[in-house]
Structure 1
């Protein structure tokens, strides 16, 4: 019992030392290979803690080997852009000039809902607020707003401000989301939406994403990147 207690304390400090030597990145900022090494190191530290029959050195040596591997990969990555791109990947533009790049989004493995959730987390609730969005190599999404941060507001000019409305996603990848449509007051029917789409030359299957606000203003993007605004 005492052996396990002592082992746990020693391995705990060894694990902390290894993690400190690997760098001070937060979990969400890690590259894929860094996350893999972190998970394996944690698992290796647990084995000698839970099983006294496993030699203590069997936990320390693999951790040191992984630390050396991490340092080597980081060093080579700093010297070689080609190697860094091979290991870390490269940033991918998922929204360009306000349009979702359907092909690029498919390459990332993200769904439209994942992308919209990431945008909302940064305070962008509508596609027309975003000029560019880039999926970084650490999995985070960087956003360039469609307007200047120094833009003059209604408050600056002592004018009444227009209420901000939450857009509801009603069509995603050609499929209706009836549960979201029901959240709108006096919501247009699916037939009304289909008719409006026909007016701009689109069928439901052609729509990549369509959002509607409570004031019945819709923003729609087709699979070919066409952006349109519809008033109901």
Structure 2
């Protein structure tokens, strides 16, 4: 249908504006980490917040108060998980994957790439995006916990303290 009623449009405007304002307030109160996308769990929460906002906007079956409650629950769970990953040793490994080195000293690690479902072409693309023309210029390529590839050229390796201890 192209148009149902003015009442439906007014509901979307009123509830949408109110839900958006509450979402911004909740996100400001919860801190920067809520939308940081540092790992897969952070991404899931971000997507869930967007989905919740869309549901509040478009479904007359969901009351504004229910949507606000959903925002608060998601953000509180995100805060709980992020607190536990930084304060409880085993908590981090449950939610966050470990970084994986896929290139070491210019050599592709085929086993690591296969385990992480990466192709050599994807790794080479990440290397090219840093301006390096060859793998011989690369000290490490690390698949980070958020799914990005970090490229450390040999000239930027430094003392390698930013790498995992077993990668030095």
1:77 aligned onto 2:85: yes
Partner of 1:98: 106
1:53 Cα deviation after fit: 3.6
1:122 and 1:143 mapped to 2: Cα distance? 7
Question: What per-residue deviation string (whole Å, max 9, x for no partner) do you get for residues 27-83 of structure 1?
Answer: 785311011011111111111211334222221111111111000001101112322
1:49 aligned onto 2:62: no
Partner of 1:113: 121
Q: Note if contact 2:137-2:154 (Cα within 8 Å) is conserved in structure 1.
A: yes
2:67 and 2:96 mapped to 1: Cα distance? 28
1:122 and 1:26 mapped to 2: Cα distance? 28
How does the TM-score come out when normalised to structure 1? 0.58
Q: Which has the higher contact order (CA 8 A, sep 6+)?
A: 2
- Which blocks of at least 5 consecutive residues in structure 2 are unaligned? 1-6, 159-168
- Which blocks of at least 5 consecutive residues in structure 1 are unaligned? 151-232
SS in 1 for 2:141: strand
The aligned runs of 1:137-176 (5 Å cut-off) are 137-147=145-155
Structure showing the higher strand proportion among its residues: 1
Structure showing the higher helix proportion among its residues: 2
Runs of 4+ with >6 A deviation: none
1:85 Cα deviation after fit: 2.3
1:113 Cα deviation after fit: 1.1
Question: What per-residue deviation string (whole Å, max 9, x for no partner) do you get for residues 110-155 of structure 1?
Answer: 11111111111111221111122211112222223224689xxxxx
Pick one of 56, 60, 63 that aligns with 2:68.
60
Q: 1:57 to 1:40 in 2, by over 3 A?
A: same
1:89 Cα deviation after fit: 0.8
The aligned runs of 1:18-33 (5 Å cut-off) are 18-24=26-32, 29-33=37-41
CA RMSD in angstroms comes to 2.3
Number of paired residues? 150
How does the TM-score come out when normalised to structure 2? 0.78
